[in-house]
Homo-oligomer: A and B are copies of this chain.
Amino acid sequence: MKPSFEHVECKHCSNRFNSVFCKTEHDKMEEIEALKICSTIKKGETIFREGSYAAGVYCINAGKIKLSMMGDEGKEQIVRLAKQGDIIGYKALLSGDRYSSTASALEDCNICFIPKEIFLVILQKDAALSFEMMKVLSNELKRAEEKITHLAQKPVRERVAETILFLKETYGLDAENNVNVALTREEIANLVGTATETAIRLLSEFNKDKIIELIGKKIKIINQDKLVKTANLYD
């Protein structure tokens, strides 16, 4: 990874207080500052690859990233979607393991690489950062367990609806009120856990039923109530 032309300083980073570093003290921040490497990632590029040695964590300054695991038949399963302010790659670092998923950019990104050594050392010294990390991990785990339950028990139709709501929750809406992320139908399927054709069919159906509106990869939620009902949440 090549250093970018512009080094974004942590203390001026707009995500500073939405991130896991929200409570990290100034001097610890300076230590990170000195050793981090900022870079620009083009849409589609890989940041790290499943199975490779974990050299550090990446803090997302701007852009959207998908984390996916390869299933047995080479089919991608998207296990997490990250955005600005999030960090990625910490799981491997903390469990002392290799990366268990591949991170790739859904759009052009600015990311800051924080080497393993400095991150772990600061974690030892900074109880607040440790606690924030535990919170992040706990929330991720909770979400993962809910996903397991839904995968095991809910029909695809409900999961597709749920996924649209999840995308809205994660990335919000753009200026035209579209869900603010552009995924291919295949990626949506790999997030839902279904075949691409099935995802396409159900999206078209929701479109026909005026629950959502599809313009290319843009998804606009027309009838939120009906979408929530279709997702069959909160019973």
Is B79 a contact of A135 with CB atoms below 8 Å? no
* B-contacting 9-mer, from A31-39, A105-113, A149-157: A149-157
Within 8 A of B (CB), among A48-105: 69, 71-73, 75, 77, 79-80, 90-92, 94-97, 100-101
Contacts of A145 in B (CB 8 A): 69, 79-80, 100-101, 144
Query: Which residues of A approach B to under 8 Å, CB–CB?
Result: 69, 71-73, 75, 77, 79-80, 90-92, 94-97, 100-101, 123-125, 127, 130-131, 133-135, 137-142, 144-154, 193-194, 232, 235
Apart from A71-B150, A152-B193, 14 more pairs, CB < 8 Å = A72-B232, A94-B138, A95-B135, A97-B138, A100-B145, A123-B127, A124-B127, A127-B127, A130-B130, A130-B131, A140-B141, A147-B148, A151-B152, A152-B194
A73 closest partner in B (C-beta): B153
Specify which of B127, B133, B135 is in contact with A125 (CB 8 Å cutoff).
B127
Chain B residue numbers with a CB within 8 Å of A194 are 152
* Partner pick for A71 among B71, B149, B193, CB 8 A cutoff: B149
With A100-B145, A134-B137, A141-B144: A153-B91 Cβ-Cβ less than 8 Å: no
Contacts A130-B130, A133-B134, A144-B144 given; indicate if A149 touches B91 (C-beta within 8 A): no
- Residue from B127, B141, B232 within 8 A of A141 (CB atoms): B141
A-B contact pairs, 9 of them (CB 8 A): A79-B148, A91-B141, A91-B142, A94-B137, A94-B138, A95-B135, A96-B135, A151-B151, A152-B194
Q: What are the residues of chain B within 8 A of A100 when measuring CB–CB?
A: 142, 145-146
Chain B residues with CB under 8 Å of A138's CB are 90-92, 94-95, 97, 137
- Which residues of B sit under 8 angstroms from A72, Cβ to Cβ? 153-154, 232, 235
Min CB–CB distance A163 → chain B (angstroms): 12
How distant is A96 from chain B, measured CB to nearest CB, in Å?
7
A2 → chain B closest CB, angstroms: 29
